[in-house]
Amino acid sequence: MIDLHTHSDCSDGSLSPTELVRLAATSGLSALALTDHDTVAGLDEALAACRSAHIRFLGGVEFEAAFSPGKLHILGIGLTDWHGRLEHRLIEMREKRTERNKRIIDKMQRAGIEATLADIEKIAVGNVVGRPHFAEFLVQRGLVRTIQEGFDRYLATGKRFYAKRDNLQPAEVVALIREAGGKAVLAHPLSLKVGLRRLAGLIESFKAIGMEGIEAYHANAPLSVAERIAAIALAAGLIVTAGSDFHGDYRPDRRLGRGAGGRPIGEEYLKPFLDGASLSGPSKP
């Protein structure tokens, strides 16, 4: 069993990279990709933990790219050089994320909620602030009962405290991932909010800019739909991947090593990435 889509507390997961790897080991995983949002800050720690646990490690990252009507997320899996231009570009993107976070705070204050960015940063414990931390703040203030309710009522796209952030164009995202030695994979394609017929056309355009795979068997996808997406990917000559999109306590519905339909993610999904799956990492700058 493996997992090609996970998050640590370096972005919006609840476990540290080391804790994530320990859970992977006790869960029987043989390979793990850490794919935090807009950061590679946890990769060195996860790599060291995987070495100790004798788990194959794949450096990863997750971008959100410009797209409408839904959201276009792109995974970089199997990175071999995450300390180069990719890391510098991610730092610039995190600065834009901070501006987005300030807009969320402004919306909350206008609604009469006493909140500051410092309050949210305390919840994030020094890691990249994301919407789950705002949702946890709402729970702590007694405004919602759960983090998911915080998203559903206030923080999801179009809701009262939602604030859009500037994203890179898909072609630049794919180029950055490939330059860093990874493969670009379309994450959870259902988040694009398009039908499967249009998805087939979009996949051809994504393939044209260098995207190499599709995460057909994402944990949120019904198994029957995942199988149809996988067929579309294979018809286009793209890699089919699977991932839990694990966030720890922030998304208790997602189990490490389990993809669509709750099924275990088999080692066959690792094969296209074996060149980037190792117990060694990139050269330090």
CATH number for 124 = 1.10.150
**Residue 77 token pair:** 């899996």
Report, as an integer, the average pLDDT of 274-279: 70
Q: What is the pLDDT of residues 41-92, one digit of tens each?
A: 999 999 999 999 999 999 999 998 988 888 899 999 999 999 999 999 998 8
Q: What pLDDT does 127 receive? A: 63
Whether 104 shows a pLDDT value over 50: the answer reads yes
Smallest CA-to-CA distance from 205 within 29, 45, 72, 32 is with 72
Q: Are residues 243 and 200 in the same domain?
A: yes
| Buried/exposed code over 245-257 (b: 16+ C-beta within 10 A; e: otherwise) | bbbbebbeebebb
Q: What is the pLDDT of residues 237-248, one digit of tens each?
A: 999 999 999 999
Q: What pLDDT does 92 receive? A: 87
In a domain, 285, yes or no: no
Return the residue matching tokens 């990175």. Answer: 79
Smallest CA-to-CA distance from 243 within 260, 267, 223, 261 is with 260
Q: What pLDDT does 280 receive? A: 55
Whether 176 shows a pLDDT value over 70: the answer reads yes
End-to-end CA distance of the chain: 33
Q: Are residues 184 and 273 in the same domain?
A: yes
In a domain, 162, yes or no: no
Q: Are residues 78 and 99 in the same domain?
A: no
Q: How confident is the model at residue 123 (pLDDT cuts 50, 70, 90)?
A: confident
How many structural domains are present in the chain? 2
Q: Are residues 23 and 71 in the same domain?
A: yes
What residues contact 32, with CB distance under 8 A and at least 6 apart? Answer: 2, 3, 6, 20, 21, 24, 46, 50, 55, 56, 57, 58
Report, as an integer, the average pLDDT of 144-159: 92
Q: Are residues 175 and 195 in the same domain?
A: yes
CA–CA distance, 73 with 63 (Å, rounded to integer) = 6
Q: Are residues 67 and 179 in the same domain?
A: yes
Q: What pLDDT does 132 receive? A: 84
In a domain, 258, yes or no: yes
Q: What pLDDT does 19 receive? A: 98
Higher-confidence residue of 197 and 257: namely 257
Report, as an integer, the average pLDDT of 169-184: 96
Report, as an integer, the average pLDDT of 211-220: 96
Q: What is the pTM of this model?
A: 0.82
Q: What pLDDT does 94 receive? A: 81
User: Is the distance from CB of 74 to CB of 19 less than 8 angstroms?
Assistant: no
Boundary residue ending a domain (134, 155, 176): 155
What residues contact 281, with CB distance under 8 A and at least 6 apart? Answer: 43, 44, 47, 57, 59, 82
Q: What pLDDT does 276 receive? A: 67
Q: Are residues 225 and 270 in the same domain?
A: yes
Whether 274 shows a pLDDT value over 60: the answer reads yes
Domain holding 53, by residue range, is 2-90+167-278
Boundary residue ending a domain (155, 177, 210): 155
Q: Which amino acid is at 106?
A: D
Q: How confident is the model at residue 126 (pLDDT cuts 50, 70, 90)?
A: low
Whether 257 shows a pLDDT value over 90: the answer reads yes
Helix axes 17-26, 43-53, angle to 10 degrees: 30
- Please, what sign has the CA dihedral across residues 167, 175, 73, 42? negative
Q: What pLDDT does 225 receive? A: 96
In a domain, 160, yes or no: no
Whether 283 shows a pLDDT value over 50: the answer reads no
CA–CA distance, 184 with 181 (Å, rounded to integer) = 10
Q: What pLDDT does 131 receive? A: 85
CA–CA distance, 159 with 278 (Å, rounded to integer) = 42
